Structure 1
Amino acid sequence: MGQNLQSGVRLRPIDLARGHGLSAQAVRNYEEEGILPAATRTPNGYRVYSPLHTRALDAFLALVPGHGHRTAAKVMRAVNRGEAEAAFRLIDESHAQLLEDRGTLRAVENALRDLGSGAPEPGATGATFIGPLAHRLGIRPATLRTWEQAGLVRPRRDPRTGYRVYDDADVRDARLTHQLRRGGYPLEQIAPIVAQVRAAGGLEPLRSALEDWHARLAARARSMLSGAAALDAYLRMRD
């Protein structure tokens, strides 16, 4: 289907590029990567695109904000190979990740409520060591040491053994850091939030971060809807 010119419209790479704010080289690269169906060629070897390619590029660019460049490219390659089911599976996986991220956000909000109410941190049973805490969080001990270097957790040292000892506040900070890292926040953004949580009445920065997180998830969900509509339009034209 990608080899057919539709409605007699013939587009050069620059024509397709200008309509999408891209360079002609970007369009050629997308074709070579399988994101666009193969172009027809003139006797002189020049590429000729059609409205089908316009719709394919529309779909790819609409998919990127919600699914990311890598997944969007995989979806388009699958469609162009005639493997629609594989493309749908990739989209399903993105939606599943979005749902998981929403669950993570709820977990952080629950942690905020616990911190604000003075409720004990779930699972906190007194002092613990780096191995058990890493196991509880599902991370490596090296990750906890990195967080310590960034000032996100501040375990004390056992004067006799030199081992790190994490009290309830340290466990709380580690859990909070873990949740925010899963939400996509870099360590430098988490540090001031944890510092404020440690201070009396310092939860407002975390509330602000959660509001931003809500907004980003909502924007991603809307982008997924837009991407689905554009991909459906492309599939209909291919059919």
Structure 2
Amino acid sequence: MTDRSYLRTHDLAQAVKISVQQVRNYEASGLIPQAARSPSGYRLYTQRHLAALQTVKSMIHGYGWPRTSAIMQALHRGDLSAALTTINERHAELASKRLQIEQTLSALRTLTDPSTPLHSASYPERFRIGEAARQVGVRVSALHFWEQQGLLHPLRDQSSHYRLYDELQMHRLRVVVLLREAGYTFDIIQPVLDELSAGRPEKAIVAVEKKREELTRTSWTCINGLALFQHYVSEFGPLYGFGPDDHT
């Protein structure tokens, strides 16, 4: 696609509702292609630059600033593979979080099912602290800190004095991880855990379901951003060395 008309920096800024300086910063950072210059030194932006800006603005909401920067910089240096790798990493992260949420909801709903014994087979083992941390994907130091805050109450092995996490503590731990990731403070998490301890997990279920809704919105935002990315690559890929068969 070749454009015969050029856009001013102000035109780009107004089109995507950012400042003129941000347009220049995006160009300097490689998020949009380098613009040609007129004999008098003015930047000569085209529809390609506008499409790149629209793609960046859309992707930031789902992929975040660091990943969006890495994706677009890789694309503009001709490395579509690296760009797709970064995209895939984000999708894998979202899939992992969704799985954790579904597992937590399943565990919490088990507590509300009167036909299921409280000590179900969900966690038949007692995990030491290192394994418990690995199960939920956090550091051991986090479990120590949450215990100090009164959020966790691991058992102690009578002979070795090792901390042990049974079924109930693993339920609590998963809820703590999810609520901390969602930005909840300890003074909010503690009442939710108290509801769990009292056999009333409804409040915890509502909080985790809210987290699932937020994740769904994030996933949808990623899809919208990816649609613009796909269109951008399809339209302008040949300029970066990608043929029609390279991204289909």
Q: Give the TM-score of the pair, scaled to structure 2.
A: 0.79
Offset of 1:59 from its aligned partner? 0.9
Matches of residues 35-54 of structure 1 in structure 2 within 5 Å? 35-54=31-50
Q: Deviations over 1:22-70 (max 9, x none)?
A: 0011111111110000011123322221111000011111111222221
Does residue 208 of the first structure (1) align with residue 214 of the second (2)? no
SS of the residue corresponding to residue 102 of structure 1 reads helix
Conservation of the 8 A alpha-carbon contact between 1:114 and 1:120? no
Deviation at 1:137, TM superposition (A): 5.1
5, 25, 50: which one pairs with 2:21? 25
Report if the CA contact (8 A) 2:72-2:83 is conserved.
yes
- 1:233 partner amino acid: H
CA distance in 1, matches of 2:91, 2:110: 29
Percent identity of the aligned residues?
32
Partners of 1:124 and 1:171 within 8 A in 2:
no
More off after superposition, 168-177 vs 90-99? 168-177
Query: What is the CA distance between 1:224 and its match in structure 2?
Result: 2.0
Question: Hey, what does 1:102 align to over in structure 2?
Answer: 98
**Aligned mate of 1:70, from 55, 63, 66:** 66
CA RMSD of aligned residues (A): 3.0
Give the count of matched residue pairs.
Answer: 232
Contact 1:130/1:165, CA 8 A, preserved across alignment: yes
2:123 partner amino acid = G
SS of the equivalent of 2:78 reads coil
The change in CA–CA distance for 1:212 and 1:139 in structure 2 (over 3 A counts) is closer
Q: Which residue of 1 aligns with 2:123?
A: 123
**Deviation per residue, 1:83-114 (Å, 9 max, x gap):** 11221222122222222122111111111122
Change (3 A) 1:132 1:23: closer
Decide whether aligned partners of structure 1 residues 135 and 220 sit closer, same or farther in structure 2, where only a CA change above 3 A counts. Answer: closer
What's the secondary structure of 1:19's corresponding residue?
helix
CA contact (8 A) 1:63 1:72 kept: yes
- Relative to the length of structure 1, the TM-score reads 0.81
Q: 1:136 to 1:47 in 2, by over 3 A?
A: closer
Deviations 1:132-177, CA, capped at 9 Å, x for gaps: 6546656443212211233311357899999767666444422432
Distance 1:93-1:142 versus aligned 2 partners, 3 A rule: closer
Question: 2:160, 2:230 → 1: CA distance?
Answer: 63
- In the other structure, the counterpart of 1:9 is 5
Instruction: For 1:148-187, list aligned pairs within 5 A.
Output: 148-155=147-154, 169-181=168-180, 184-187=182-185
Which residue of structure 1 aligns with residue 190 of structure 2? 191
Among 218, 221, 226, the residue aligned to 2:216: 218
Distance of aligned partners of 1:129 and 1:57 in 2 relative to their CA distance in 1, 3 Å threshold: closer
> Gaps (5+ residues) in structure 2?
239-248
- Contact 2:8-2:45 within 8 A present in 1 as well: yes
Instruction: Please tell me whether the aligned partners of residues 104 and 171 of structure 2 are also in contact (alpha carbons under 8 angstroms).
Output: no
In structure 1, list runs of 5 or more residues that go unmatched.
Answer: none
Q: After alignment, is 10-19 or 187-196 more displaced?
A: 187-196
